[in-house]
Amino acid sequence: MKKGYDMSAEEESILQPLLKTGKGFYVFVGVLLILTGWFLYCWYTQLSQGLIVTGMRSVYNAPNYMTYGVAEGSPWGIYVTTFIFWIGISHAGIAISASVRLMNLKKYKVVARMAEVLTLVALPMAALSIVFDVGRPDRLFNLLEFGRFQAPMLWDLSAITTYFMGTIIYLYLSLRGDIDQLALRIPRREWFYKRLAMHYEGTETEKERHKQTLWWLAVAIVPIMVTVHSVVSFVFGLMIARAGWYSTIFAIYFVVGAIVSGVAAVYSLAWIFRWLYKWQSLITDEVLKGITWALRNVLIIYLYLWIAEELTMNYMGSSAELRVSDFLFSGRYAPIFWPMVIIGFAVPAIILLKPVFIKKIFNPKLTFIASIILNVALWVARFTIVVPSLLNPPLYPTGIYIPTITEVSIITGTFWMAVLLYVAFVKLFPIIELDVVEA
């Protein structure tokens, strides 16, 4: 292995992904590419045959032989659910980076970049989820040309654009120093890194300038992050016509849920990288414990809000709200609702709360399992928000929504592509900031 520079052992450890590529990696990427190919084929099917290939249907009813199966169902389904999910995941990045930079929590610097890259990858996947959902994606320019600022969806597009641009600029500026270093350390890619570093000089003044700019950028991006998921919640929370959606606490409910998603995802990633590249000395138990602490606290707040929502719908709700609530508690979606509550919420809550009450040694692996379960549960939770309310429209309850295989194949495409993009980054740039070992 060519080394153009004498690297310390720790640096070489951080740069493992860039220096070595095992066979397992190629197999992994190969499988992902095949799955992505399947996704592309299914998307092609949907585009040529129309959204009828999904399980979504119109709201109104009429005798079924008259509607030829296009009515009596939910107009939105797992595409919109996954959109909310990806936006939730995207709350990882700046939550961690901002804490590190604004509150001087240097301990978590080691996971800051993996969180930022997660945001960068999650946001385009969220946008793509919606592109799959619209009936005429060939008219997307209409959003830029005729977009109405009174429409919650335009608020979504604005907030997501702002958040994405802010994050990519933030990531580039914090990466620039490392890119410059990589030009020395990996000579075969020098031409690539040198151009990308854009005349970075590495002087103290320049570093200070970067620090200052990044600080202000972090300050600007935090309210943007809160705005993003709030406007996503407004798409639902402002709909007076939809029982179960029309709620005042949706904004904070969604934002807290997103932070739980994001922090859980960062924990998962941190654990995976630690295990994969043997970074126990970098991503220490202390760091993981800290993330767990944050995860535990936001989870408690999220469960509090979730209970408030469910109770309000169920206790003395209007007939429509009771119908929605019954769908979840005892009706046709009970088979996914109760596992979500018991396995998805209660089990991770117990795992995370146990160390508080029973003094046990911190178990990173168990917390990792909890973090994965939480994100799956939160996906299901968003499904329970989107679909049951749509199956209970005001004038008459209608139909059922079951996603089709084509639909699932298309939306899982966002997961495969997200992993591919993330892996590409990991292979090109250090996923842990080089400063961490250079102090």
Partner 1 sequence: MTSVRTLAVGLLGLLLIVAGVSLWVLGDLTTVVVSIALASTGFLWAPLIWFIGIIVILSAALANTLPFKNYLAWLLLLVVGYLAVFVILVSVTSVILP
Partner 2 sequence: MTKLTMIIDLSRCIGCWTCAVGCKAENDEPIGIWWNRILTNGGNEMDTPSGTYPDISMSYMPINCQHCDNAPCVKVCPVGALRKREDGIVFLDWDRCIGCRYCLIACPYGIPAFNWRPPVQSPDNSQFRIGNPLVPVRPVGVAEKCTFCFQRVDAGNLTPACIEVCPAGARFFGDLDDPTSEVSQILQTKPTMRLREELGTEPSVYYVPPRNATRPQEVSQD
Closer to partner 2 by CB, 134 or 301: give it.
134
State the residue for tokens 């089709």: 404
CA neighbours within 13 Å on the CB side: how many for 134?
13
N residues, the chain:
439
Closer to partner 1 by CB, 108 or 163: give it.
163
Q: What is the DSSP letter of 3?
A: -
Q: Which two tokens stand for residue 237?
A: 């929370």
Which residue in 13, 16, 36, 67 binds partner 2 (CB under 8 A)? 67
Residue 173 contacts which entry, partner 2, partner 1, none (Cβ below 5-8 A, type-dependent): partner 1
Does residue 71 belong to the site contacting partner 2 (CB under 8 A)?
Answer: yes
Stretch that binds partner 1, among 63-71, 151-159, 329-337, 416-424 (CB under 8 A): 151-159
The answer to whether 378 and 260 are in contact (CB under 8 A) is: yes
Stretch that binds partner 2, among 167-175, 267-275, 391-399, 416-424 (CB under 8 A): 391-399
Q: Which two tokens stand for residue 425?
A: 């980054």
Closer to partner 1 by CB, 221 or 313: give it.
221
Stated as kind and residue range, the H or E segment containing 19 is helix 16-19
How far apart are the C-alpha atoms of 217 and 314, rounded to whole Å? 43
Closer to partner 2 by CB, 83 or 345: give it.
83
Q: Which two tokens stand for residue 367?
A: 């917390």
In whole angstroms, what separates CA 317 from the centre of its chain? Answer: 32
Residue 133 contacts which entry, partner 2, partner 1, none (Cβ below 5-8 A, type-dependent): partner 2
Which residue in 19, 173, 421, 428 binds partner 1 (CB under 8 A)? 173
Residue 239 contacts which entry, partner 1, partner 2, none (Cβ below 5-8 A, type-dependent): partner 2
Which residue in 2, 23, 188, 199 binds partner 1 (CB under 8 A)? 199
How far apart are the C-alpha atoms of 61 and 81, rounded to whole Å? 24
Query: Minimum Å distance from CB 252 to partner 2?
Result: 22
Does residue 208 belong to the site contacting partner 1 (CB under 8 A)?
Answer: no
How far apart are the C-alpha atoms of 391 and 52, rounded to whole Å? 17
State the residue for tokens 């990308």: 196
Which residue in 1, 63, 356, 359 binds partner 2 (CB under 8 A)? 63
State the residue for tokens 């989107």: 386
Residue 172 contacts which entry, partner 1, partner 2, none (Cβ below 5-8 A, type-dependent): partner 1
Contacts of 238 (CB under 8 A, 6+ apart): 152, 246
Q: Which two tokens stand for residue 247?
A: 């709620």
Query: Minimum Å distance from CB 106 to partner 1?
Result: 22
218-237 positions binding partner 1, by CB under 8 A: 220
Query: Minimum Å distance from CB 353 to partner 2?
Result: 37
The dihedrals phi and psi of 146, each to the nearest 5 degrees, come to: -115, 10
How far apart are the C-alpha atoms of 363 and 351, rounded to whole Å? 9
108-147 positions binding partner 1, by CB under 8 A: 124, 127, 131, 136-141, 143-147
Query: Minimum Å distance from CB 134 to partner 2?
Result: 5
Q: Which two tokens stand for residue 92?
A: 């990882």
The dihedrals phi and psi of 90, each to the nearest 5 degrees, come to: -65, -10
Site of interaction with partner 2 (CB under 8 A): 49-52, 56-63, 66-71, 75-76, 130, 133-137, 139-140, 142-143, 146-148, 150-154, 157, 235, 239-242, 390, 393-396, 398
